[in-house]
Each structure stands twice: as C-alpha cells, then as structure tokens.
Amino acid sequence: MKTTTALLAAMLACTFAPAASAEGACGTIRLYDVNNTRQKVYPVYLIEVDGKTEWKNKYLKQMPVGPHKLKIGERIPNGELSQQVARWNDRSIRTRELDIDVQANVLYLIGAKFNFDKRTDVKEYWAPIVLRDEGHACSLD
C-alpha cells in the first residue's frame, strides 16, 4: 500500500473516467484527516453525498460504482488563513462540490489543498484534491 506522501505525489483530477458497472461493485471514499503542513493538504469533512446528509461524521464509506456528487468542507486551521478569509461572514466559502466517478476496488482519498499564494481570495484559497490507490477490495454487503 502506498504511503500518504506517495499518494499526495500522485494527485489526480477530481473527475475520473466511468468504470463498467457491476452489480455490488464499489469503491471506497476516505476523508483526509491529518494536517500535512509541508504539502499544504488539510482535512475535510463531508456535508452531503448525492444531496443526502446521512454521512455525518464518517471518514470512510463504501460507495456504489458510478458518478457521485460530494459536498465537502475544509478544515484548514484559521492560523493558516488570511484574516479576510477567516473572518468572512458567509461560511459557504469553506465548502466545495466535488464530482467523482467511483470505480470498483479503488480507494479515493479526499483532502483540501490550501493554495497559499491565493490565501486572501475567498473563492480560490483552497480546492478539493482526490488521490486514488488501486487494489482495495470493496463489496456492498
């Protein structure tokens, strides 16, 4: 299994090509849960999956193969943020939507990539990143 650092080095685009759908096939979504200040990757929390909020406070979830829409929020420490972003009244700037096409037996690690150069821009100071690792057995039992 690849280490988190190796996974971070293998960052991929947020949307992947569709996989052939098979009955009971699934992939795994895992939420990044550590502060990696050297690479500016931070934890996220899940707000919605496909418009539903049943995921509250879960960090690992098996998902059926196919396209899904995630709404995630960043957990970048306020000390890293500019005062403009940290004090922004509309808290929705701390959430993003992410479209992901889940493939069978793939682990997707989702985190928040902090863009230090744009730390004062409320729309671009962070973006979701998706890392993937092949070969994680998954079944929806």
Q: What is the pLDDT of residue 104?
A: 92
C-alpha dihedral, 64 to 66 to 71 to 76, nearest 10° = 80
Q: What is the pLDDT of residue 59?
A: 77
Q: What is the mean pLDDT of the chain?
A: 81
| 3-state SS assignment for residue 122 | coil
Q: Read off the pLDDT of each residue in 64-92 and give the average, rounded to a whole number.
A: 90
| 3-state SS assignment for residue 49 | strand
The answer to whether the CB of 26 falls within 8 A of the CB of 102 is: yes
Strands 26-31 and 106-114: parallel
Q: What is the pLDDT of residue 132?
A: 78
* Threshold 0.85, pTM exceeds: no
**15 pLDDT exceeds 80?**
no
**Residue 69: C-alpha distances to residues 97, 98, 101, 128, 136 (Å):** 7, 6, 9, 13, 21
Q: Read off the pLDDT of each residue in 118-137 and give the average, rounded to a whole number.
A: 89
